[in-house]
Structures are given as C-alpha cells and as structure tokens.
Structure 1
Amino acid sequence: MLDQTTLVLLTPFFVTLFWILVISTSQHQKVNKKLELLFFLTCGLVAFVSAIAFFGQYYKFYQLIYVPVVFFAMSQFPAFYVYIKSLTSEQGWERKSLVHFIIPLLTTLAAAYIHYYLLSEKENYQFVAKVITGELPETRHLKLAYLVDRISKNSFIILGLIYYWLSNKRVKKHRSKLDDYFSSTEGKRINWIRLYNISFFFTLFAGIFFHSLDRKIFIDNPQLLALPFLPLTVFFWIIGFHGHKQKTIYPTPLNHPVLDNQNSIQTSDLSDIKIRLVTLLDNEKLYLNPEINLPDLARHVGTNRTYLSQVINQEFSLNFNQFINKYRTKEAKKRLNSQEGYRLTIKELGEQCGFNTPQSFARWFREYYGVTPGEYKKTIGL
C-alpha cells in the first residue's frame, strides 16, 4: 500500500507522464508541432523524479541526477514560453529561441563544475545532508555548492514571473492580429491561457512556500508535501489537457511564400487590387473555404498581404475577418432564398458557406441582418 508521501509525489509525476504519452502518440495531430510542449512537460517530469528520489530517501540516486535536474527544473517556464511563441508564430520553431535557455544552462554548468570537479563523493553526500537538515555548510566548496543551489531555486521563481509576463504578452499580441489574418478564429485565441494564469499563481505561491522551508520539515511532516505538489498536479494537468486539444494555428511551414516584399507584387494601385479582389471573390467564391486567410487570398489576388489588408481596411472599412464573413452571410442568405438551400439544416448551410460552427454562423448572420439564420428562415416560408 502506498504511503502518504509516495502518493502525493507520484500524482503529479503520473499526470505529467500521462500527457507526454498521450501527446506523443496522438494520431490525429502532427507531433512535430507539439515538440516544444513535450519538452516543457519533460522538464516537469524530470523535476518530479528528483523530488521522488529526495523525499523517498533515495539520496544516492538524487545526488546522481542533481546536476541535470538543475537544467530541466529551471527550463520549465522558458520552455512553456517557447511553446507559446511557436504556437503564435508563422515561423514556428526558431533557433534563436535557444537564447531563453542560457540562464538554466549557465547555472547547470556551474553546478556540474562544483559537483563533478570540486566536491568529492563524500562531500556530495554531505551536501545532500545539509540540504535535508537546512544547516549552512562549513567548508568553502560546500558553501559554493549551497550558494549555487539557492541561486537556482530563486532563479526558478524569478524566471517563472518573467516568462509568465512574456507568455501573456505574446498571447495578447497574437489575439490583436487574428481578425486581420484569419477568416475564422475559432480555436485560435488560446483562451485556456486564463486557466494557466490562475493555476500559475497557485503554483508560484506553493513554490515559494516549498523553497522557503527546510526539507527536513517536509520529511518529518509528509502531509505538508500536498501544499506544493497538488497545485503542481493541477498546473500540469491544465497545460497537458489544453495543449493536447490545441490545434496548430498557423500553417507551418507555409505552402506558399508569403508575398510581403514590394518587389514581388504585381501592382501598387489599390483601386486595381480592389477590382481584382471583388472579381475573384464573385467568380471563384474563395470565402467558402473555412480556412482561407489573408496570405492565401493575397496570393490569389496577386499582391502582398500588406496591400490587400490596406484595401480591405480603407475601401470597405472592415478587417479581413469581417470582410470574408460578410461575403459568407450574403451567400447564406442567397441560398436560404432558394429551394435547395431552404431544405438544408442551419448547420449544413453554415458549413457550405464557410462557417466552422453553427454559433459562428448565427453570430455573423445576426451581425449583418439583425436576425439569426433560423429566424430568417421562418420568415421565408418556402
């Protein structure tokens, strides 16, 4: 039968392991789009292994994995930010994102130098004993090891706050451009970041509480381990669950070059772009594609997305999202007035006209015609 300490420690470990396995073996998603998320979860998993080794009193194993754990533990929040950045960027993964792991790497190298070079095997065990009892070490080498340990723990909290701010700033910036980029924004707003924010602060306070007390207190009172580790369980469950559900937002790599260079456009005459845009939509009805976005439409028009966006904003006084969905609602109204369209369900009609959900269809139809599609259908009476 599992004792209380083991149960508390194993809960976040198995929750994190569960989502790693689910995400990495998912058949309906491209796993390469989830590598940053998997790395974040792996960082948490390694940290939990360290906690299990320490509070399970496997001190030899704990000492053995101490140095790599420093890197993975400190990399958790930078890894989550890199995941959010990749999720909200057309470029996806970028090598320059590695800069976010410099501080964890430097701290790990310092710990490696101390524990693998300066400290003897006996002194490494003494270091673990000092961590347990909370006593200040006496020798110079042990004092240095203790200092690096405290720096890594304090840096963990500081990095958490910095990357919490950066992650939310990134999401806010992403949301601000959605309506000018996508015709359908369902599932692209990353609304679950709100739950992340709430759980983050519970986890942060739990971490401060955990690191402010001597480990011996938790060893003597194992029930106290629930205070830091249960919030961690919820934290990793939220990220694992919503990260697994989160679909790729930007198609990366793009199937075509994004025409943003002025040298690649055919004309800078906005009125000419407007004519070609209207002609194209009237004839080919590209708005019926629920995933049509600004770069896609710009490619078909033969211009860049900056000019196209300018035309839509200035000539029609709409953003891209409003512009495309206005075309879709017009098409839906036209079809509702026909025998064939009238026989369709509202859901079927919405899907045929490019709407991803009935809710989105109803919202946009009401936006332009003052009634829902169902209400308008009742007035026709075909």
Structure 2
Amino acid sequence: MTHYFFTVMPLFVVFFWLILFLLDIKKNGVAKRFLTLFLGVALVNYLAHWFYFNNNYSVYRLLDSVWVFTSLAVYPLYYYYIRLLTVDLKLDWKWGWILVPAILLSFFSAVLYLLMSPAELDVFTHEVLYHNREYRAGYPLLVRLQAMRLVLFKVIFAMEVLLTLYFGLRLIRLFNEKVHAFYSNVENREISKIRTLLFFLVLTALISLVSNLVGKHFFSDHPSLLALPSLAHSMALFGISYVGYRQHFSIRDLCKDQQDGECCCSVESESEAMTGMEYDLLFSKLETLFEENQIFKNPELRLNDVAQELGTNRTYLSRLIRHRRDTTFCDFVNDYRVRYAEAVLSSPEHFRLTIDEVAFNSGFSGSSSFYRAFVKKNGIPPGKFRKQV
C-alpha cells in the first residue's frame, strides 16, 4: 500500500494543478496557458512512471517511448515558459527545435520496439529495464541498441537540465533588471516568489539528474527508497505549479506599461557618454524633483513619469541614473525614500507613527518592501534604528 501511494503521489499533484489551470484557461495569459501544456506533458510522464513502478510490463513497453519524449520535453518546455514570462510577447513556433532531441530519441526507441521479437522484448524488459533477471552477455543487436538508447537518454537529459538552469536563470536576471530600471515599486513585478521558483527549479534538476544517473530500476529494486524521489518530485511539482499559478506579471505587462513593446525588449546603446553641460543640467533637475518636490512619495512612480517631468525620454534618464549613481531607477528612488524615513524615525515629532505609517509616508507600497530597502542601506531594521537614535 505504501509503495502504491508513493508511485501515485506525483501523478496526483500534477493532476490537481492541471485541473486548476484548465478551469482558468480562458482567463490565463499566454505564459500560463503554456505552463498548462507543461503540466499536461508532466502528467503523461508520471503516468508512465506509475505503470513502470507497479510492474505493468506490457503497458509500460507501449509507454516507454512516450516516457522518453515527455522526460526530454519537460525541461525545454519549462525553459520556454520562462521565455514567455521574461522575453517573448507571443508564442514563436520556431522554438520548436528545442524538442528535437526528445522527438528523435523517442522515435528511435519506438522503431526498436516495433522491430524487436517477443523474445527480445522479454530480455530487454526483465534484464535491462527492470534488472529482475540475471544479466547475460551477448545481447541481440536490437537489445543492445535499446540499452544504448538508455545511456543516450541520461546524457541528453543532463545537458538539458544544465542548459535550462543556466539560460533560465539568465533570462530571469535580465528581466528583473528591466523591472528595476523602470519601476520604483517592484513588489509583485519581479518574477513572483523568485527565490522559491529558483529553489524548486534547482531542486527538480538535482533530483532528476540523480534519479537518471542511478536508474529507475534502482528504486524498483529498493521500493522503500522510492519515498525519497517521490516526495521530492511532488514538492518540486507543487512549488513550480503554485508559483506559476500566482505569477501574473510578465514581459507583456512591462511592455504595456512602457507603451513601447519593441523598445522595452531591446538593449540600450552604451555609445553615448554621460558628459557635458546638458547632462549636468538634467541631473540637477532630477535631484530637484526628488529633494524639493519629493516625487518619491508616489508609491507607483515609474521611469516614464520622471522622464515626462524632465522633458526627456526614459532611455536617457535610465542611462543618466546608471552612470551618475551607478544604480537602477528602483534603488535610486528607494534611496530617497529610506533617507526620508530615517529623518522621520529620528524625529521626536513623529514618534507616534507606526512603522507601517512611516513606510507609507515615505513612498513605499508596503512594510515588507520598506523593511528590505531599509535593511539593505542601514544593515538594521527600521524599528531598531528608531530605538538607537
């Protein structure tokens, strides 16, 4: 009974989240709809897992090639989901090439299965896949080719995991830089729950790599140890689904706010040096806006708003802040907010104000963003700062 529970648990987790995503399919954006496809592929994958670990030999032989495809498709699909959150405004079918390894190896496996005789199928199933019979030397050619396919699968899978992790992290980092360069309030605009998302992405990668290096037959031979990958995969799938379900902000929203879909996705030129009286005057006006007009008190202040006040464009303004203060627009604004909060916290006149009220009066959208920015600048929380002055 325990063995059955752990074989079905990841399947149940995926099925649960897939239903939730499908119920909102019409309301979901392109990224969430694509994540729904990812969960559908994962569902088929874990269904094949279930037949394998419950020793349903005849059915698993039919699903083995499908399992190869779904296993080699999930990480490329997840990478493209990240692209839809951070880079691509719409689906680009040219990216279908990332599924080529999955298609080719699953097709190779299917052809071998069709060519194998009943005796070869029996040898491959019991001596190579399940290892529940003594190993014999001198396997027939088709059995050896299937065994080679298993090795190829592990190599390709490991490469996909590493590439997805590297390029996925890079896309997320670049997207968050764009968000910090445009918004003063990045709460719920960075990739939602970014640390959680990355943790589960890394966790899934490590578990999958270890599982494939060890081999599925190891867990079939040691059913009590099946609880470890089952729990880990279930937690990872739940985390990825939960984060994806609550992720509402994407590159489409950023481009909409900037009112220039092409510009927000392009790389700014660094050819213009920030020198000359024109830029000195522009920076002086910028400081006046923040120090005298205190526009940082607007919690939803955006780069476009400041650029409009200065009569310039956001590209010049963003570059001006980066070159003169070596920081992003978000950190630039928050620096003024924290300085204002420090003055309020140090003033006996405002002693009765709560920390939340200080945060709101300083321009922060919430106490959590205020706390992070204050600790980042001062190394201590605002409550402790108040007690020390």
Q: Give the TM-score of the pair, scaled to structure 1.
A: 0.73
Letter in 2 for 1:40: F
Which residue of 2 is the match for residue 201 of structure 1?
Answer: 206
SS in 1 for 2:255: coil
Match of 1:66 in 2: 64
Distance 1:362 1:219 in 2: 49
Distance 1:184 1:209, change over 3 A: same
Give the Å deviation of 1:14: 1.0
Q: 1:347 aligns with which of 340, 346, 356?
A: 356
When the two structures are superposed, what TM-score results if normalisation uses the length of structure 2?
Answer: 0.72
Matches within 5 A, 1:128-143: 128-130=125-127, 131-133=129-131, 135=135, 138-143=139-144
Is residue 2:333 matched to residue 1:324?
A: yes
Map of 1:39-50 to 2, 5 A cutoff?
Answer: 39-50=37-48
Q: Give the C-alpha shift of residue 161 in structure 1.
A: 2.9
In structure 2, what is the equivalent of residue 359 of structure 1? 368
Q: Secondary structure at the match of 1:254?
A: helix
In angstroms, what is the RMSD of aligned CA positions?
Answer: 4.5
Deviation of 1:26 after TM superposition, in Å, equals 5.2
Q: Which residue of 1 aligns with 2:320?
A: 311
| Deviation (angstroms), 1:147 | 2.4
Q: What displacement does 1:93 show?
A: 4.8
Amino acid at match of 1:108: S
**1:25 equivalent in alignment to 2:23:** yes
SS of residue paired to 1:30: coil
- SS at 1:191's partner residue? helix
Q: Matches of 1:313 and 1:33 in 2, distance apart?
A: 31
Shift of 1:72: 1.0
Quote the offset at 1:157 in angstroms.
Answer: 2.8
- Matched residue, 1:107: 105
Is the 1:276–1:301 contact (alpha carbons within 8 Å) kept by the matching residues of 2?
Answer: yes
**Alpha carbons of 1:351 and 1:27: their partners in 2 closer, same or farther (altered >3 Å)?**
farther
State the match for 1:229 in structure 2.
Answer: 230
- Who is 2:273 aligned against? none
Match of 2:6 among 5, 8, 11: 8
Report SS of the residue matched to 1:75. Answer: helix
Instruction: Show the 5 A alignment for 1:119-130.
Output: 119=116, 127-130=124-127
Alpha-carbon shift at residue 51 of structure 1 (Å): 1.4
Larger mean CA deviation between 284-293 and 364-373 belongs to: 364-373
Shift of 1:60: 2.9
Question: Cα deviation per residue 1:74-131 (whole Å; 9 max; x = unaligned)?
Answer: 1122222223333333646544443322221222232333335x34677656643442
- The answer to whether the 8 A contact 1:40-1:80 is kept is yes
Aligned to 2:272: none
The alpha carbon displacement at 1:173 in A equals: 4.2
2:30–2:90 Cα contact (<8 Å) kept: no
C-alpha distance in structure 1 between counterparts of 2:142 and 2:72, whole Å: 23
CA distance in 1, matches of 2:27, 2:359: 25
Q: Percent identity?
A: 25
Shift of 1:181: 3.5
Q: 1:276 to 1:163 in 2, by over 3 A?
A: same
Corresponding pairs, count? 366
Cα pair 1:5 1:223 within 8 Å, conserved: yes
Which of 188, 191, 201 is the matching residue for 2:195?
A: 191
Give the whole-Å Cα distance in 2 for the aligned partners of 1:51 and 1:371. 50
Letter in 2 for 1:64: L
> Unaligned stretches of 5+ in structure 1?
263-267
In structure 2, the CA distance between the partners of 1:218 and 1:331, relative to structure 1 (3 Å rule), is closer
Is the contact between residue 206 and residue 227 of structure 1 (CA under 8 Å) also seen in structure 2?
no
Q: For residues 142 and 312 of structure 1, what CA distance do their matches in structure 2 show?
A: 64
What is the letter of the counterpart of residue 322 of structure 1?
A: D
Query: Is the contact made by 2:65 and 2:110 (CA closer than 8 Å) also made in structure 1?
Result: yes
* SS of residue paired to 1:355: coil
* Distance in 1, Cα, partners of 2:21 & 2:167: 25
Q: What secondary structure is seen at the aligned counterpart in 1 of 2:111? A: helix
Deviates more, 1:60-69 or 1:294-303: 294-303
Instruction: State the 1:347 CA deviation.
Output: 3.4
Q: 1:68 and 1:179 mapped to 2: Cα distance?
A: 42
2:98 partner letter: H
Aligned residue for 2:143, secondary structure, equals: helix
Deviations 1:301-326 (A, max 9, x none): 66543312122234566531133335
Distance in 1 (CA, whole Å) between partners of 2:296 and 2:351 is 20
Change over 3 Å in CA distance of 1:75–1:226 after alignment to 2: same
Tell me if structure 1 keeps the 8 A contact 2:65–2:109: yes
1:363–1:112 CA distance, 2 compared to 1 (3 A): closer
- 8 Å Cα contact 1:68-1:108 kept in structure 2: yes
Give the residue type in structure 1 aligned to 2:104.
Answer: L
Larger mean Cα displacement after TM superposition, 364-373 or 103-112: 364-373
Deviation at 1:9, TM superposition (A): 0.3
CA 101–90 in structure 1, closer or farther in 2 if over 3 Å, else same: closer
Report the counterpart of residue 82 of structure 2 in structure 1: 84
Change (3 A) 1:301 1:249: farther
Contact kept? 2:44, 2:70, Cα under 8 Å:
yes
SS in 2 for 1:57: coil
